Amino acid sequence: MNAPASPGRVHVVGAGVAGLAAAVALADMGRSVTLYESAPQAGGRCRSYFDAELGCRVDNGNHLLLTGNRAALQYVDRIGAGNSFEGPSEALFPFIHAATGERWTLRPNIGALPWWVLSAARRVPQTRAGDYFAALALRRADPSATIASVLDPRQNLFWRLWEPLAVAALNTGADQGSAALFWRILAETLGRGGAACRPLLPRVGLSESFVEPALNRLRACGAEIRFGARLRVLAFGPGAVSQLVFDAASSELGAADKVILAVPAAIAARLVPGLTVPDRHSPIVNAHFRCTPPAGAPFFVGVVGGAAEWIFRKRGVLSVTVSAADRFVECDASQLRDLFWRDTAVAYGLPAQPVPPARIVKERRATFLASPEQLKRRPQQVTAWRNLLLAGDYVDTGLPATIEGAIRSGFAAAALAAGHPLQAVTGSLSGNRDSLGSPTENQQERRPALP
Ligand SMILES: Cc1cc2nc3c(=O)[nH]c(=O)nc-3n(C[C@H](O)[C@H](O)[C@H](O)COP(=O)(O)OP(=O)(O)OC[C@H]3O[C@@H](n4cnc5c(N)ncnc54)[C@H](O)[C@@H]3O)c2cc1C
């Protein structure tokens, strides 16, 4: 009797959250996995590090999850980090107008029927219930439409809510951001009610919630993890990848082996012939201030009418995020420090002077620009080569470049590599096949022709 054919090893290249999600899902299925990462550490654009100048650990950028981010929550549960988050006990979004000091709190009700828009105490001041329903026009938006072409930028609701949410979710201004993509985000969060909008923040840091527990899980499952392994070349044989070439070594692929390429878009385009990817990027600027936030201060505050956009309370740090930050990337760090502290001091009731020690972090290529034109460049996860799959926030997940999108792509790639339906990987998430984009139905059929 013949022995059953070996299912082969899956080589996952890139240990950002997309690669980690793929590797963990495969290791949980009992598959042999090798994870390669060019950097000395995992996490990619979602990680923490010790900042010697500030004398404390900081995150590379502030990342906010919502309870509606089902794949991300399943991932953190799977790696045993589900309890590593904190945040308000309900869907609360405190805002401040930086120039006038006016404060309000957006408080969507728990259920999907949005009666909160009828309550002046829960909605944005100087807006009417009818203004909110006008956003339903996004649902029918043409794929080429921008947010500002569908929603009225003269309305209070636009600049007090829709624009801040769109910029934060898409990392793209409303004048350029895709209306259809923004609708997708609203439908998965506010559209599902407050139960899907409770904010979750890593209690300690991004690495402690998303990265270290995943590596521990992989090690426990016997997966191989290789840091400092930069993939230089993918060698191709007839219809399949035949070899992975790294700086110091190379790996020949067996007939049943698979590759999940989970590197950033520009790197993938260099490694895979003929691959089209988004090629315009949008920056994010963060300012980490070393100070003691007042006791009982909110976990975060949204700022309108100022330079800062969102301010997060961390351990011994107040941290400012500005998305789609083109206007700030060329500014001096000292100038940005003063500008962002002015809003931070107002929002958290702290003295304007002296400005505390700060670290300014500019991520010039934080994510792809979520414009209608760039979305057309997002590739499918299945490639022309039978053993090569793509994962990462830039692939066509139907979501913006986010942790949720990256993790969904990782789970979907794992399902494809294992030849399983997506629900074998995502379990209870499978009830939402449409929003996860079933790889078997949506992607397998759209396998591109060989270049
Ligand atoms: C400042 C900032 C703030 C953000 N805020 C949010 C937020 O609030 N909410 C949210 O959901 N998302 C946010 N994002 C986006 C989110 O971080 C990304 O969408 C997500 O981390 C992307 O994960 P990824 O695995 O697709 O890619 P990456 O994290 O880029 O991972 C790719 C990995 O591949 C490795 N690699 C590259 N080349 C090679 C090679 N040749 N060989 C081997 N390895 C290689 C890289 O070192 C990296 O580790 C933010 C991003 C930034 C930068």
Kindly tell me if the per-residue pLDDT of 399 is higher than 70. yes
29 shares a domain with 156: no
For strand 281-290 and strand 317-322, is the pairing parallel, antiparallel, or unpaired?
A: antiparallel
Q: Are residues 111 and 187 in the same domain?
A: yes
Q: Is the CB of 151 under 6 A from ligand 1?
A: no
Does the beta carbon of 74 sit less than 6 angstroms from any atom of ligand 1?
A: no
Question: Does the Cβ of 264 fall within 6 Å of ligand 1?
Answer: yes
Give burial (CB, 10 Å; 0-12/13-18/19+) of 420.
middle
Contact 362, 425 (CB under 8 A): no
- Tell the residue number behind the tokens 């107002």, with chain if given: 346
| Ligand 1 touching residue 212 (CB < 6 A) | no
Spatial distance between the Cα atoms of 232 and 413, rounded to a whole number of angstroms? 21
Q: Which two tokens stand for residue 68?
A: 């509606």
What's the confidence (pLDDT) of residue 6? 75
25-34, 341-350, 420-429: the lowest-pLDDT one:
420-429
Q: Looking at the domain assignment, is residue 368 inside a domain?
A: no
Q: Which atom of ligand 1 is nearest to the CA of 18?
A: 25
Ligand 1: residue whose CA is nearest its atom 31: 16
Q: Which of 35, 45, 259 to mutate to test the pocket of ligand 1 (most atoms within 8 A of CB)?
A: 45
Answer yes or no: is 112 within a domain: yes
Atom 12 of ligand 1 has which residue's CA nearest to it?
A: 402
The single residue listed with the structure tokens 């009828």 is 118
Find the 221 Cα to ligand 1 centroid distance in Å.
Answer: 24
Q: Are 171 and 367 in contact (CB under 8 A)?
A: yes
- What mean pLDDT is predicted for residues 92-98? 97
Q: What is the pLDDT of residue 426?
A: 66
- Beta carbons of 182 and 166 less than 8 angstroms apart: yes
**Residue 5 pLDDT:** 66
Q: Are residues 210 and 101 in the same domain?
A: no
- How many Å lie between the centroid of ligand 1 and the Cα of residue 307? 25
Ligand 1: which of 403, 407, 411 to mutate, judged by most atoms within 8 Å of the beta carbon? Answer: 403
Could you tell me the residue range of the domain that residue 384 belongs to? 9-45+206-277+374-446
Q: Number of structural domains, the chain?
A: 2
Ligand 1 proximity of 267 Cβ (cutoff 6 Å): yes
pLDDT of 434 higher than 80: no
Say yes or no: CB of residue 64 within 6 Å of ligand 1.
yes
Query: H/E/C letters for each residue in the chain?
Result: CCCCCCCCEEEEECCEHHHHHHHHHHHHCCCEEEEEECCCCCECCCCEEEECCCCEEEECCCCCEECCCHHHHHHHHHCCCCCCEECCCCCCEEEEECCCCCEEEECCCCCCCCHHHHCCCCCCCCCCHHHHHHHHHHHHCCCCCEHHHHCCCCCHHHHHHHHHHHHHHHCCCCCCCEHHHHHHHHHHCHHHCHHHCCEEEECCCHHHHHHHHHHHHHHHCCCEEEECCCEEEEEEECCEEEEEEECCCEEECCCCCEEEECCCHHHHHHHCCCCCCCCCEEEEEEEEEECCCCCCCCCEEEEECCCCCEEEEECCEEEEEECCCCCCCCCCHHHHHHHHHHHHHHHHCCCCCCCCCEEEEEEEEEEECCCHHHHCCCCCCECCCCCEEECCCCCCCCCCCCHHHHHHHHHHHHHHHHCCCHHHHHHHHHHHHHHHCCHHHHHHHHCCCCC
Q: How far is the CA of 405 from the centre of ligand 1 (A)?
A: 11
Q: Which residue has the tokens 């609701």?
A: 157
**Each residue of 207-231: pLDDT tens digit?**
999 999 999 999 999 999 999 999 9
Do 273 and 378 fall into the same domain?
A: yes
Of 142, 171, 196, which closes a domain? 196
| Cross-strand partners of 285 | 322, 362
In this predicted structure, the answer to whether residue 445 has a pLDDT above a threshold of 70 is no
CA distances, 164 to each of 96, 116, 183, 186 (Å): 12, 19, 14, 13
Is residue 178 located within the same domain as residue 215? Answer: no
Tell me the CA distances in angstroms from 236 to 245, 263, 425, one per residue in order: 11, 18, 28
Tell me if 97 is assigned to some domain.
Answer: yes
43-84 tens-digit pLDDT: 999 999 999 989 999 999 999 999 999 999 999 999 999 999
Q: Summarize the confidence of residues 91-119 as an average pLDDT.
A: 96
Does residue 414 line the site of ligand 1, with CB under 6 A? no
In a shared domain, residues 393 and 428: yes
Report the 10 Å Cβ neighbour count for 269.
Answer: 19
- pLDDT (mean) for 11-16: 98
Q: CA angle at residue 381 from 376 to 385, to 5 degrees?
A: 115
CB 64 within 8 A of CB 200: yes
392 lines ligand 1 (CB under 6 A): yes
> Looking at ligand 1, which atom is closest to the CA of residue 393?
26
Residue 367 Cβ < 6 Å to ligand 1: yes
Q: Please, what sign has the CA dihedral across residues 137, 142, 143, 147?
A: negative
In the prediction, which pLDDT does 2 show? 58
Residue 280: what are its φ and ψ, rounded to 5°? -115, 140
185 and 214 share a domain? Answer: no
Determine the residue of 11, 60, 63, 246 to mutate for testing ligand 1's pocket, defined as the one with the most ligand atoms within 8 A of the Cβ atom. Answer: 63
Same domain membership, residue 173 and residue 210: no
Q: Give the CATH number, domain containing residue 269.
A: 3.50.50.60
pLDDT, tens digit, 9 for 90 and up, residues 249-265: 999 999 999 999 999 99
> Has residue 431 got a pLDDT over 50?
no
How far does the centroid of ligand 1 lie from the alpha carbon of residue 135, in Å?
A: 30
pLDDT band, very low/low/confident/very high, at 3 (cuts 50, 70, 90): low
How do 9-13 and 32-37 pair as beta strands? Answer: parallel
CA atoms within 13 A on the CB side of 167: 25
Rounded to whole angstroms, the Cα distance separating 36 from 8 reads: 17
CB of residue 16 inside a 6 A radius of ligand 1: yes
Residue 45 CA to ligand 1 centre (angstroms): 3
Alpha-carbon Rg for the chain in angstroms: 22
Other C-beta atoms lying within 10 Å of the C-beta of residue 386: 13
- Is residue 248 located within the same domain as residue 380? yes
Report the range of poorest mean pLDDT among 154-163, 298-307, 434-443.
Answer: 434-443
Q: What is the pLDDT of residue 420?
A: 84
Residues in the chain: 451
pLDDT digits (tens, 9 = 90+) for 283-308: 999 999 999 988 889 999 999 999 99
Q: Is the CB of 21 under 6 A from ligand 1?
A: no
pLDDT above 60 (res 444): no
Q: Is residue 231 within 6 Å of ligand 1 at its C-beta?
A: yes
Per-residue pLDDT band for 4 (boundaries 50, 70, 90) equals low
148 lines ligand 1 (CB under 6 A): no
Q: Is 39 in the pocket of ligand 1 (CB under 6 A)?
A: yes
Q: List all residues 6 or more positions away from 365 whose beta carbon is below 8 Å from its beta carbon.
A: 264, 266, 281, 283
**Same domain membership, residue 37 and residue 184:** no
- Is 181 a member of any domain? yes
Final residue before a domain boundary, out of 196, 222, 240: 196
Any domain includes 305: no
Q: Which atom of ligand 1 is nearest to the CA of 168?
A: 8
Residue 137 lies in a domain: yes
Do the domain assignments include residue 293? no
* pLDDT at 430 (0 to 100): 36
Ligand 1 binding pocket mutation candidate from 62, 206, 230, 402 (most atoms within 8 A of CB): 402
Report pLDDT for 55: 93
Closest ligand 1 atom number to CA of residue 61: 1
User: CA angle, 104 as apex, 103 and 109 as ends, to 5°?
Assistant: 165
Domain contains 325: no
Domain boundary among the residues 178, 196, 214 is at 196
pLDDT at 198 over 50: yes
Tell me: do 130 and 172 sit in the same domain.
Answer: yes
130/188 same-domain check: yes
With cut-offs at 50, 70 and 90, classify the pLDDT of residue 422.
confident
36 lines ligand 1 (CB under 6 A): yes
Taking the centre of ligand 1 as the mean of its atom positions, its distance from the CA of residue 55, in whole angstroms, is 24
